[in-house]
Structure 1
Amino acid sequence: MEPKQISINEVLRHTMHDFLNNLHLIQMNIDMGRHEEAKNLIRTYSQKCTQFFDVNNIGLYNTNEWIQTFSMAYNKVSLEVQTTLLKRGAERYDSPLQEYLKRFIDTMYPLLKGYQEQILSVHLYSHDVLEVQVELVGEWTSYTWIDESFTDLFRVEKEMNTESRIKFKLIATERLE
């Protein structure tokens, strides 16, 4: 399983397709009298937009692009993103973070087995320092993720590494300004 290369046109097409699908889903719920469900969908889509702007606002532009195009390049894995971004000034961490996340999923993606549910969770947290919690849950051929070839900008804390779950945290070595 190799990740798919994507063009700007494909990104725009995918975005417009998702936008129309989301509007149709909201309209369908309204037509069926399911107003609370329609409101919940609007909240969910609004939260996704807020996360996009939050990640951009702290300076993680390349990382955000990778997050936003993830499902197009890695269609066998679901991505769940959480943000708790309280402080700005993470620009210097952007490219190394995006490269590390890409290297991780590029390594794991070919090892994924069959039609099992594969979920990559990424939680971006910034208070005094930037922390990124990463967890991959699914099924893959036996592999141990040991990539510590990282810049001096982050340290890696391994939390779990089994045949169905890999969990680690990237912690910036310096405080955000």
Structure 2
Amino acid sequence: MKDKLTVAEALQHARHDFLNKLQLIKINADLGKTDRISGLIEEFAELAKVQSCLVRLGLPVTEEWLLTAGWRFPEFLVNVECSGDRAPQELDQQFTDFLEALLIGITETCDMETETVCTVRLGAEQSLFKITVLLNGHLPALPSYPEDVLTVEQQQAEQDTIITVTAKLEG
């Protein structure tokens, strides 16, 4: 895990991902699998929609963290889901600090021999903004996070660990 990527490193990773996506389309075109090509294009379009949603939230530090987490933490398959267009922008750094501490804590306390799927959902519900992190598998209780403005809960579901970070929305 690397602390922060330079712009050049991020562009290199993005270029690599883009070429991989083009290669998937080409392979499926060569095999005549037009249904799979349509599915891939829909998947890539959905990713672009998520990235647009992240911009609308106005959390640039969190946005950067989410878009580079999979490259910085290769032991995780990071998926991002986003809904809504409001977030407590003054908490941008706290959200990022929490997510960073969470993934570092998991890598330090858990057996990371297999890739862990990490789905991060961001969105507003009534007067609350929530970041929900779903991780496959049962994880031990993670270190507590200071709850000055963020409320953090950890639950165990059937096969997943669910961590929810909640903050109040103004107005």
Using the size of structure 2 for normalisation, the TM-score is 0.86
- In structure 2, do the counterparts of structure 1 residues 139 and 10 end up closer, same or farther at CA, with 3 Å as the change threshold? farther
Alignment match, 1:166: 161
CA deviations 1:109-167 (Å, max 9, x no partner) are: 12332522312221112243211111222477xx4214131332x21233239xx8532
Counterpart contact for 1:120–1:136, Cα < 8 Å: yes
Does the aligned pair in 2 maintain the 1:156–1:169 contact within 8 Å?
yes
Aligned to 1:107: 105
What corresponds to 1:88 in structure 2? 86
- In structure 2, the gaps of 5 or more residues are none
Answer whether contact 1:80 1:120 (CA < 8 A) is retained.
Answer: yes
What number of residue pairs does the alignment pair up?
Answer: 169
Partner of 1:144: 141
Deviation at 1:88, TM superposition (A): 2.2
* Residue pairs, 1:18-167, within 5 angstroms: 18-85=17-84, 87-128=85-126, 129-138=128-137, 143-152=140-149, 154-160=150-156, 165-167=160-162
Q: 8 Å contact 1:29–1:37 — kept in the other structure?
A: yes
Asked if the contact 1:117/1:138 (under 8 Å) is kept, the reply is: no
Q: CA deviation at 1:104?
A: 1.0
Give the aligned partner of residue 175 of structure 1: 169
Structure 1 residue 27, shift from structure 2 partner: 2.0
Letter in 2 for 1:30: A
CA RMSD of aligned residues (A): 2.3
How big is each residue's C-alpha offset from its partner over 1:40-71, in whole Å with a ceiling of 9 and x where there is no partner? Answer: 10111111111111011111211111111112
TM-score of the pair, normalised by structure 1: 0.84
Q: Secondary structure at the match of 1:4?
A: coil
Contact preservation (8 Å) 1:96, 1:151 = no
Q: Deviations over 1:16-42 (max 9, x none)?
A: 111111112112212221111111101
Q: How many Å separate the matches in 1 of 2:29 and 2:133?
A: 36
Query: Is the contact made by 1:116 and 1:138 (CA closer than 8 Å) also made in structure 2?
Result: no
Instruction: Give 4+ residue runs of structure 1 displaced > 4 Å after superposition.
Output: none
CA distance in 1, matches of 2:80, 2:112: 24
